Amino acid sequence: MPPSGLNGRLMSIAGRWSCVGDLRAGRLSARRPVRQSQRMVILLSAFGIVLLGAFAQAVSGFGYALVTVPLLAAAVDPRAAVVVSALTGIGLTVTAAIRERAHARWQVAAALTATALLGLPAGLLVLALAPERLLSALIAVVVLGCAALVWSRARIRTGRIGLGAIGVLVGVLTAATGTNGPPLVAAFQSLGYDPRTFRATLAATFSGTSLMGLTGFLLAGQIHADVVRISLVALPAVPLGWWLGNRLFHRIDPVVFRRIVLFGLLGSAGAALASMAG
């Protein structure tokens, strides 16, 4: 065999066993049968993570992205985690907003969504340009920040300027990390909303920012076949998780749940940091 033919043969063999289809980078490839079992683990893990996130969202009104993004980032790359969380969570937030519309403060939700649009471009730049480890670190910091807010019951100024600044920050976080709940949790705690109003107004705000974020991801080319495939497999977990969580919404003790939320947030932040270290 001529040298060129030998080289071509060796390159072909090497290509079959290369890391082109590396799942950790979010590149699921059907050309590599040896990776089929790993692909199944990724898809099953995504289903379980989305189930857990939907459960947390139903019980507390927030927590879907805070649970799903860090845990998904440990299985696929952080950018794919942000987009998969957004794709699977949009139906959940819109449905919750419609069902709880009578309890939502729509003026507040609309104002926050409008100002979030100002922060969206900056968030898209961070998502596109930040190194994966830095993105994982940002996700972990946001989740830990939310844990601190829940623990301290922090209150912030909620006048027009305060809500406007929160809205811009929400826009940045929507696109950059997908975890835009922490500033909203602090704002609604400061406004003194009861649990039903709290959950409903969060759902209304998340609906607007999620639609806005998905549009940004589409225009920025962040939605591709791999994230769509993972999202479609995980999507059935959303109504199941919501149904389970909604059954506990009126029954669970607030003190016990607050502790569960804190441990869950710390665990998901740890997963993001582990992903960064790996």
- Predicted local confidence at residue 174, as pLDDT: 93
> Helices 132-152 and 254-277 meet at what angle, rounded to 10?
160
Cβ count near 72 (within 10 Å): 35
Q: What angle do CA 86, 240, 203 make, to 5 degrees?
A: 45
The dihedral through the CA atoms of 202, 118, 235, 69 has a sign that is negative
153: left (phi over 0), alpha (psi -120 to 50) or beta: left
CA–CA distance, 49 with 56 (Å, rounded to integer): 11
pLDDT, tens digit only, all 278 positions of the chain: 444 454 444 344 344 333 333 444 444 433 344 377 888 888 999 999 999 999 888 877 777 888 898 889 888 888 999 999 999 999 888 988 998 899 999 999 999 999 999 999 999 999 999 888 888 888 888 877 777 776 776 666 677 888 899 999 999 999 998 888 878 887 887 888 887 888 899 999 999 999 999 999 999 899 999 899 999 999 999 999 989 888 877 676 766 666 666 676 676 667 666 666 65
- Predicted local confidence at residue 237, as pLDDT: 95
- Predicted local confidence at residue 51, as pLDDT: 94
CA–CA distance, 256 with 167 (Å, rounded to integer): 30
- Predicted local confidence at residue 258, as pLDDT: 63
Global pTM value: 0.75
Torsion of CA 107, 95, 84, 110, to 10 degrees: -10
The residue extents of the domains of the chain are 31-277
- Burial of residue 103, with CB atoms counted within 10 A of its CB: 0-12 exposed, 13-18 middle, 19 or more buried: middle
Q: What's the residue count for the chain?
A: 278
Contacts 24+ apart (CB under 8 A), 124-129: 124/175, 124/176, 124/216, 124/217, 124/220, 126/172, 126/175, 126/176, 127/79, 127/82, 127/175, 127/176, 127/177, 127/220, 127/222, 128/220, 128/222
